[in-house]
Amino acid sequence: MTIMRVPSTAMPIEPPFLPDEVVFGVECEFTDPIKANVGWGITARYRAAVARRCASDRGLECSFDRRSVEVWSRQPPGRVRLFPHRDHCVLEIAIDPLTIQQGEASRHLLDSLVWAAAGDVGLAAGTDEVNRWSAHLSFSWPQLRAGGDAGLLLRYLVDFNNHPALAMGAMGGDIRNAPPLAIFSDRAQQALQAVVADYNRAPECEDAFAVAARIRREVYGERFQFGLRGRNDHYNALNLCHVNRSARHKRPYGIESSVRIEQRAAYMPPSAEHLLSQCRIIAGRLGYLSQQTGPIAYCPPRFDIPADSRVFQRRGTQQGMDATAVAEGYLHYLEETGLDVTKHVPFLVNPEVRAAAEWVLRTGARRGRGEPRLLQ
Given a cut of 60, is residue 130 above it in pLDDT? no
Long-range pairs for 201-210: beta carbons < 8 A, 24 or more residues apart: 203/150, 203/151, 204/10, 204/11, 206/150, 207/147, 207/148, 207/150, 208/144, 208/147, 208/148, 208/149, 208/150, 208/153, 208/243, 209/147, 209/243, 209/244, 209/245, 210/150
Nearest residue to 351 (alpha-carbon basis) of 376, 325, 320, 327:
327
- In this predicted model, what pLDDT tens digit does every residue of 302-331 receive, in sequence order? 665 455 555 555 455 566 678 899 999 999
- 351 domain-assigned: yes
- 223 domain-assigned: yes
Percent of the chain with pLDDT over 90: 62
Query: How many domains is the chain built from?
Result: 1
Nearest residue to 301 (alpha-carbon basis) of 183, 142, 153:
183
Residue 363, burial from CB neighbour count under 10 angstroms (0-12, 13-18, 19+): exposed
- 374 domain-assigned: no
**Out of 6-20, 88-102, 246-260, 271-285, which region has the weakest mean confidence (pLDDT)?**
6-20
- In this predicted model, what pLDDT tens digit does every residue of 174-218 receive, in sequence order? 777 888 888 887 888 899 999 999 999 999 889 999 999 999 999
Q: In what order do the strands lie in the sheet with 136-140?
A: 60-64, 69-73, 78-87, 90-99, 23-30, 136-140, 261-263, 238-239
User: What mean pLDDT value characterizes the chain?
Assistant: 86
- 5 domain-assigned: no
What average pLDDT score do residues 113-117 get? 97
Residue 41 makes CB contacts below 8 A (sequence gap 6+) with: none
- 376 domain-assigned: no
Position 194, amino acid: A
DSSP 42-81: HHHHHHHHHHHHHHT-TTEEEEE-SS-EEEEETTTTEEEE
Q: What is this structure's pTM?
A: 0.89
pLDDT of residue 376: 31
Which domain covers residue 26, as residue numbers? Answer: 19-363
- 2 domain-assigned: no
d(CA 208, CA 212): 6
- 8 domain-assigned: no
d(CA 119, CA 111): 11
**Can you tell me whether residue 116 is helix, strand or coil?**
helix
Position 4, amino acid: M
- 190 domain-assigned: yes
pLDDT of residue 375: 35
